[in-house]
């Protein structure tokens, strides 16, 4: 049996109903953001800091990442 290594995951949709971003709350408290174009970023939702150089993460995504909870 394989256990998932995340606590919570949410998909954000664009205005056409397609997944634009997937936010994943990791066990260490960080959030991984998977973009529809295949890029990934890791952010610290407590400090609202992007930990991935050269990948832009807008304030709306940081706000959404800060809202994720494990329950």
Position with higher pLDDT, 71 vs 23: 23
d(CA 37, CA 55): 12
- Cα–Cα–Cα angle for 29, 22, 71, rounded to 5 degrees: 45
Q: Of 7, 28, 22, 3, which Cα lies nearest the Cα of 71? A: 7
pTM of the entire predicted model: 0.88
H or E stretch including 61? helix 59-67
Q: pLDDT tens, 19-50?
A: 999 999 999 999 999 999 999 999 999 999 99
């Amino acid at each position: 049996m394989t256990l998932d290594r995340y606590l919570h995951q949410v998909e954000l949709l664009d205005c056409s109903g397609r997944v634009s971003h997937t936010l994943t709350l990791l066990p260490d408290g960080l959030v991984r953001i998977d973009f529809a174009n295949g890029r990934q970023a890791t952010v610290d939702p407590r400090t609202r800091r992007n930990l991935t150089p050269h990948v832009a993460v807008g304030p709306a995504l940081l706000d959404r990442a800060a809202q994720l909870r494990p329950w």
